[in-house]
Amino acid sequence: MFRIDARNERNNRFRALSTVLVVLVLLVASAPVWGTTTGADRAGHQQATVIDSCTTIDKPGTYRLTESIENSTADICIEIRAIDVHFDGGGHTVDGNISRQEMLDALRGPPPETGIGVGVHPDGSALLLNVTISNVTVTDWFRGIGARETSGVVVRDVTATATGAGVDLVSAPGSTVVNATTSGNVLVGVLASGSSGSTIRDVTASANGFLGVHVVDSFDSSIRRVAANDNGFSGIDLRNSSQSTVRTVTATGNGFRGLGVVDEPVGNVVENVTVADGNFNRNGYSGIVVFLATNSTFSNVSVVGTTGTLPPGSRSPGRPPAGIHIEVGSGNTFADVDARHQAAWAYHSEMGATNTVEELRTDAGVVSFEARDVALGPTTTLPPDADNATTATPIIEGVTVTNTSADSFIDLEIAWESVKSENQSANETAGGESL
């Protein structure tokens, strides 16, 4: 049905969620989908053309839906094929007739090119510009709202629920999704693929079957003021989307992780990300996962209360749960991190991951360090696959550090109450003065 670019984090450990990752492979790839833009607001000053049924819009202008459409069997109910268009749903619903089971069944085959509530489609011509979709609810479609080969689309004040993908933008650079609720969809709330310079803000993307917000191959994108809770796999994922920002978001109670920054993104700035809040609404296996990411900054983040559980039907990824997990990613900085109440590790890094952590809060105290391939947290027992080169060393009461490779090191500073012990375990190395 839908294909998410299958870059799968290259490590079998991240492929461990076998059932769920089949969905990931099926979400992005060549899925034709469609969306909206801002300059169309100029059309809003014109007399609106009223519509009351499914139609194709092939001339510029403002179009207003005057009543809800129910149980539509159209391939694409509202299809936009012109520039300078504003489709105003008038607060009504565009409803299809595709069942949840049909959506799940479609995962087994090629992505369907029909079954779309509101779509922007250039029909092989030049990129469409200045298209806005607003004030509409879409339900029971493979794709609720989408845009393909469209620049600067704007999707605002919309609700997408009980669809396969709520809002689905492919090759739609500079697009905006704002004031949207995309929850309760079979796969994903908001997808932006190949849509660099896009903005997703003031969005609720919760209780979706797989992902809340997924941004892939879209550099210089922005995710702001987003709530992505209780999704089947991940709340928010940035995949191969360099120089992007994630600010003031909440991602709690997701099946596997709250936030994923994966597949060679460089220069991401992730601030004010909450993956578990004060009432301990926890993520399953990791708060934040960083894979093949470099030179990125994570500040003022909370990964409290990772539960250590996996989505139903999935296999273990072969590593212990952690508030923050980093793999094959160096030069990143984590500052002001709340990582209390973990099922296992607060911080876990491996496979040549050298990074800096400033003020990581654990249940026992605050630690700062630069390290390569270490695990740190309340755990006092070694992982079951530990070899003879792996040791666990208590650094303060209630906090243990261990190496995850033979060339691990850590330069550590500890603070509890008003006391600091600088470099208490400075430059300890496995094979030398072992961790």
The arithmetic mean of pLDDT across residues 64-74, rounded, is 97
* Secondary structure element (H or E) that encloses residue 133, with its range: strand 131-139
pLDDT surpasses 70 at 264: no
Residue 150's Cα: distance from chain center in Å?
22
Task: Determine which of 120-129, 150-159, 232-241, 397-406 has the lowest per-residue pLDDT on average.
Answer: 120-129
Specify the pTM.
0.84
Strands (E) in 229-342, as ranges, are 234-239, 245-250, 257-262, 269-276, 286-291, 297-303, 322-327, 333-338
Q: What is the pLDDT of residue 282?
A: 67
- Is the pLDDT score of 77 beyond 50? yes
Percent of the chain at pLDDT > 90 equals 59
So what's the pLDDT on residue 34? 36
Q: Where are the domains of the chain?
A: 32-148
pLDDT the model gives residue 101: 94
In the predicted model, what is the mean pLDDT of residues 241-260? Answer: 92
Q: What is the DSSP string of 44-63?
A: GGSPPEEE-S-EEE-SSEEE
What pLDDT digit, counting tens, does each position of 308-340 carry? 998 888 888 888 999 999 998 888 899 999 999
Least confident of 10-14, 223-227, 292-296: 10-14
Q: Per-residue pLDDT tens for 105-147?
A: 987 877 788 999 999 987 666 788 999 999 999 999 999 999 9
Q: Are 4 and 24 in contact (CB under 8 A)?
A: yes
Determine how many CB atoms are found less than 10 A away from the CB of residue 103: 24
Q: What is the pLDDT of residues 414-434, one digit of tens each?
A: 775 433 333 333 333 333 333
Each residue of 222-238: pLDDT tens digit?
999 999 999 999 999 98
Q: Which position has the higher pLDDT, 142 or 19?
A: 142
By percentage, how much of the chain surpasses pLDDT 70? 76
The tokens 């995949």 sit on which residue? 239
Mean per-residue pLDDT over the chain, rounded: 81
Instruction: Flag whether pLDDT at 152 surpasses 70.
Output: yes
Strands 409-416 and 419-422: antiparallel
38: confidence class by pLDDT, cuts 50, 70, 90: very low
Instruction: Tell me the per-residue pLDDT of 190-225, one tens digit each, with 9 for 90 and over.
Output: 999 999 999 999 999 999 999 999 999 998 999 999
Task: Summarize the confidence of residues 184-189 as an average pLDDT.
Answer: 97
